Structure 1
Amino acid sequence: MISRDAETFDGLGPDATLGEVLLALGGRLTRLQTELLAGLEQPLTIRQCRILSRVGAGHTSLTALCKLAHRNPSTMSESVDKLVNQGFLSRRPSATSRRTMQLELTTKGLDARDAARRALDKFAAELTAALAPEVRDELAPAFTRLYFGIQGHLDDQ
């Protein structure tokens, strides 16, 4: 059970359900990722890191980014504008439609994305380093199913 006390909101008790543990764990992991990315030479937010990764993976239109992130265009546009102003992304007209702008990683954006990826890969490895290999082998498929199940709920909205 999660404590209802405001000072220990995510303090887990011995009767915590799996869902409660996952919610508390998600919050803790988000905080750690936020701190890790903020401490890089080129500090990033989690949202900025995701946008840089997605643009680098070929999702170069605002529409594609909105769909992937389940965000409205004004929210995504604000985030993209900030990345363009900081020199992480550039815009140019699409080759197929003059009305559509295509996003591209700049050298600075590529460097920041790669540094973030290395830091997050190291962090991910450290998270499970103390677990026995057979425990990791059991947890990975279960968490993967959970992740894609949650993704399905997002896609339905």
Structure 2
Amino acid sequence: MTDRDTETFDELGPQASLGEVLLALGGRLTRLQTELLAGLEQPLTIRQYRILSRVGSGHTSLTALCKLAHRNPSTMSESVDKLVNQGFLSRRPSATSRRTMQLELTAKGVTARDTARRELDKFTAELTSGLAPEMREQLLPALSRLYFDVQGNLDDR
């Protein structure tokens, strides 16, 4: 058992607050997601998976990706360049503005995104399989509310 002075988010004591538990859970889930994506036949980082998913859902400009990820253009451009060089994305001039580049998933990108999505779906199904239906009915709205509240805080920055 740890005391409050030495407690870390990985070693929660019996007096941990809801916020501390949420932060610890977020860290653990991120670690598991990172490991799962890195272990795929076509390894991806979380950021790469998110970019592929967002481009696949129609967010095809660097500006749109920056807004969604709350990242600056140079950081996003570096990530996109790497995905282009690996053959997951392609670039072409936008039909509406020749100065704007439009991103598109390649066949390799679609396969990587879909494989990752299936594995993440399998992981989340396993993660929640032991929860009683009543618990799921309570957790989903509460966690969704927290998620959107946090998202609103990011959007305000």
Q: TM-score, normalised by structure 1?
A: 0.96
Go from structure 1 to structure 2 and tell me whether the alpha carbon gap of 1:118 and 1:4 turns closer, same or farther (over 3 Å shift).
Answer: farther
Query: How many angstroms apart in 2 are the aligned matches of 1:106 and 1:116?
Result: 15
Query: How many angstroms apart in 1 are the aligned matches of 2:16 and 2:3?
Result: 6
Regions of 4+ moved over 2 Å: 1-6
Query: How many angstroms apart in 2 are the aligned matches of 1:102 and 1:92?
Result: 5
* Uncovered stretches (5+) of structure 1, i.e. residues with no partner: none
Q: Summarize the alignment of residues 1-80 of structure 1 with structure 2, pairs less than 5 Å apart.
A: 4-5=5-6, 9-80=9-80
Query: How many angstroms apart in 2 are the aligned matches of 1:73 and 1:65?
Result: 9
1:129-153 alpha-carbon deviations (Å, 9 max, x no partner): 0011100111000000000000000
Q: Secondary structure at the match of 1:92?
A: strand
Aligned length: 156
Verify the 8 A CA contact 2:90 2:104 in the aligned structure 1: yes
Verify the 8 A CA contact 1:61 1:103 in the aligned structure 2: yes
TM superposition shift of 1:10: 2.1
Verify the 8 A CA contact 2:9 2:20 in the aligned structure 1: no
Verify the 8 A CA contact 2:3 2:13 in the aligned structure 1: yes
**Identity rate of aligned residues, in percent?**
81
Is 1:109 matched with 2:94? Answer: no
* Uncovered stretches (5+) of structure 2, i.e. residues with no partner: none
Go from structure 1 to structure 2 and tell me whether the alpha carbon gap of 1:41 and 1:62 turns closer, same or farther (over 3 Å shift).
Answer: same
TM superposition shift of 1:5: 3.6
Query: How many angstroms apart in 2 are the aligned matches of 1:40 and 1:118?
Result: 11
Verify the 8 A CA contact 1:3 1:9 in the aligned structure 2: no
